[in-house]
Amino acid sequence: MNGLPILDISGLCKSYGAVRAVDWVDLHVDRGEICGLIGPNGSGKSTFFDCVTGLARPSAGAVKLDGQDITGWSLNDIAREGRMLRSFQKTVVFSALDIEENLVIAGQMFTFPGIWSTFGIGAAARNRVAALRERARELIRIAGLWDVRFQPAGKLSGGQQKLIQFASMLMPEPKLILLDEPMAGINPKLIERVVESIRLANTSFGVSFLIIEHNIDVVTSLCKRVVVLDQGRKLAEGTPDEIVRNQAVREAYLGG
Ligand SMILES: Nc1ncnc2c1ncn2[C@@H]1O[C@H](COP(=O)(O)OP(=O)(O)OP(=O)(O)O)[C@@H](O)[C@H]1O
């Protein structure tokens, strides 16, 4: 383990025609940190994620993951080689499959060195699948889904499906996860469950997080440091306390 940030972004810019969606943003995530990214609608948060995770090509800037320059890498290479994963605002699960099957498939898709290593016959392939099933069961417990593990994912609530998606992302043992509004559309009763799952993934597996979230209570409870974007630019950065007291942030985002 070294002292370098797990994610180190400098001078990131992304333009869509005349729109400067992301305008010269520096941001880092320390190893083992849960960092928040907030800002008004249209401030560039999702575009920032797109550029960092290889879904969009930045117009300028550099992205370093664990000390390695990954600028311009594809989404797949960043996920497989860099072990940095991201979620999207829309939740996707295999509706007809139960939770364990969902997680095992996620593990097979990302298993290093590749999906084909878990297929085939013989003891080695059987052992790889057994290891994936064991990890899936551990993650189902962490996500609080044990009691519904045999139900088809499509029959579960939107919040439970988000938990399945979150547990699936943990299958390939990522170093860093970028979550795009993990609490959006979740029943308030499940919010604490999702918060706890993120916290456990951080403390038990050492996964670092960068989280876009509009629920400021969640951001305050999970994150030690928060970065605020406004009109594509970094408006402020600090502890949750500093951010909620910051006058410019209050005017631009938190409602005076
Ligand atoms: N593919 C695109 N083509 C053109 N403009 C885009 C595109 N994607 C985003 N934008 C523009 O870039 C700006 C930033 O959008 P973005 O979706 O990144 O903001 P956001 O902070 O994630 O918003 P929200 O909180 O609503 O998800 C907006 O002005 C948006 O209209």
Q: Do 66 and 178 have their domain in common?
A: yes
Task: From 15, 16, 38, give the residue whose CB has the most ligand 1 atoms within 8 Å, as the site to mutate.
Answer: 16
Report pLDDT for 61: 97
**Chain centroid to CA 116: how far?**
26
* Residue 2, ligand 1, Cβ within 6 A: no
Report pLDDT for 117: 52
Q: Do 203 and 102 have their domain in common?
A: no
Q: Do 156 and 183 have their domain in common?
A: no
State in Å: Cα 57 to ligand 1 middle.
14
Q: Which atom of ligand 1 is nearest to the CA of 49?
A: 18
Q: Do 77 and 184 have their domain in common?
A: yes
Q: Residues 83-103: pLDDT tens digits? A: 899 998 888 899 999 999 999
Round to whole Å and give the CA distance between 17 and 96: 42
Q: Please say which residue of 173, 208, 233 terminates a domain.
A: 173
Q: Please say which residue of 173, 188, 209 terminates a domain.
A: 173
Round to whole Å and give the CA distance between 66 and 191: 30
Report pLDDT for 82: 80
Report pLDDT for 253: 87
Q: Give the tokens for residue 188.
A: 């308030």
Domain span at residue 154 reads: 92-173
Round to whole Å and give the CA distance between 132 and 104: 6
Q: Do 181 and 198 have their domain in common?
A: yes
State in Å: Cα 89 to ligand 1 middle.
13
Q: What is the number of other CB atoms lying within 10 angstroms of the CB of residue 11? A: 12
Q: Do 151 and 227 have their domain in common?
A: no
Round to whole Å and give the CA distance between 247 and 256: 8
How does strand 68-69 pair with strand 225-230? unpaired
State in Å: Cα 48 to ligand 1 middle.
9
Q: Do 189 and 208 have their domain in common?
A: yes
Which residues are bridge partners to 159 per DSSP? Answer: none
* Residue 39, ligand 1, Cβ within 6 A: yes
* Residue 90, ligand 1, Cβ within 6 A: no
Number of domains in the chain: 2
Report pLDDT for 198: 96
Q: For residues 22, 26, 31 and 37, what is the CA-based torsion angle, rounded to 10 degrees? A: -40
Q: Residues 114-141: pLDDT tens digits? A: 445 555 556 777 788 889 999 999 999 9
Round to whole Å and give the CA distance between 21 and 230: 10
Q: Do 4 and 103 have their domain in common?
A: no
Q: Do 169 and 186 have their domain in common?
A: no
- The protein residue with its alpha carbon nearest to ligand 1, atom 25, reads 41
Q: Do 141 and 22 have their domain in common?
A: no
Q: Alpha-carbon torsion 167, 169, 171, 177, what sign? A: negative
Report residues of the chain scoring pLDDT below 70: 1-2, 111-122, 256
Round to whole Å and give the CA distance between 120 and 122: 7
Report pLDDT for 12: 98
Q: Do 156 and 98 have their domain in common?
A: yes
Q: Please say which residue of 141, 173, 205 terminates a domain.
A: 173
* Residue 45, ligand 1, Cβ within 6 A: yes
Q: For residues 75, 78, 83 and 84, what is the CA-based torsion angle, rounded to 10 degrees? A: -70
Round to whole Å and give the CA distance between 81 and 73: 10
* Residue 57, ligand 1, Cβ within 6 A: no
Q: Do 115 and 168 have their domain in common?
A: yes
CATH code: domain of residue 9:
3.40.50.300
Task: From 14, 37, 41, 47, give the residue whose CB has the most ligand 1 atoms within 8 Å, as the site to mutate.
Answer: 47
